[in-house]
Amino acid sequence: MNKLLLHPAAKPLVFVLCLLPFAWLAYGVVVGELGPNPQEYLIRATGDWTLRFICIVLAVTPLRVISKWNALARFRRMLGLFAYFYVVLHLLCYSGFDMGFEWGEIAKDIAKRPFILVGFSAFVLLTPLAATSFNRAIKAMGAKRWQMLHKLVYVIAGLGLLHFFWMRAGKNNFAEVFVYAAIIAVLLGWRVWNYASKRKAKNAPAGARGGDKPLRSTS
């Protein structure tokens, strides 16, 4: 599997797969197959795909560690940038279809409605992650500071889930919310467990880690 993931065609293939939701939505607009309210459909769909890509990004590390497919790490940056791509589309759809690009009204709406404020906060936090997703940024910031900044993805996932919950609460439709909540809980829970396991192994006595060698008999 690692050989397949390292194949030169792997990244272009993943890129195309990540674009498929956008292509499907664009096709729906052209042929008029997005239902009676296509504007609302686009707002909801781009938001859903943002949350899905955040879940996919969070899944990369657990899947890499458990499966030993270390080459998965090379796709994480691209997947993160696609999460940002879809959240930008989500924001543009809301700004255009709901608010007519009236920036003053948009600012008032963000301040007035908590679920929009939470969603916009997630977008704001995701922006520096997208802006520092290239190698020069890592070198300029230093690996430790870069890693600390990119831990914001956990906060972003929580804000995105809360935004999604409030969106569905208006129609008492919580089925999908529970699915995303379970996925995010598992992915974040695995990180807590993995971190605790590493700390426990690090603090264990040398003999327990296999560091002490048995003495050989001299007889």
Residue 41 predicted with pLDDT over 60: yes
Q: What is the tens place of the pLDDT at every residue in 154-213?
A: 999 999 999 999 988 877 788 999 999 999 999 999 999 998 988 888 877 765 555 444
Question: What integer pLDDT is reported at residue 218 of this predicted model?
Answer: 39
* Any domain includes 210: no
* Any domain includes 36: yes
Q: What is the tens place of the pLDDT at every residue in 118-159?
A: 999 999 999 999 999 988 998 999 999 999 999 999 999 999
Cβ count within 10 A of residue 216: 6
CA distance 43 to 138: 33
* Any domain includes 68: yes
Mean pLDDT of 100-129: 95
Question: What integer pLDDT is reported at residue 208 of this predicted model?
Answer: 55
Mean pLDDT of 38-49: 96
* Any domain includes 214: no
Question: What integer pLDDT is reported at residue 199 of this predicted model?
Answer: 85
Question: What integer pLDDT is reported at residue 202 of this predicted model?
Answer: 81
- Among the residues of the chain, which ranges form H helices? 2-5, 10-31, 38-67, 76-93, 103-112, 114-131, 135-141, 143-150, 152-169, 175-203
* Any domain includes 163: yes
Number of domains in the chain: 1
* Any domain includes 215: no
φ, ψ dihedrals at 214, nearest 5°: -65, 145
* Any domain includes 41: yes
Return the axis-axis angle of helices 152-169 and 38-67, rounded to nearest 10°. 140
Question: What integer pLDDT is reported at residue 188 of this predicted model?
Answer: 95
Expressed as residue numbers, the domain containing 177 is: 2-201
Total number of residues shown for the chain: 219
Mean pLDDT of 22-50: 95
* Any domain includes 22: yes
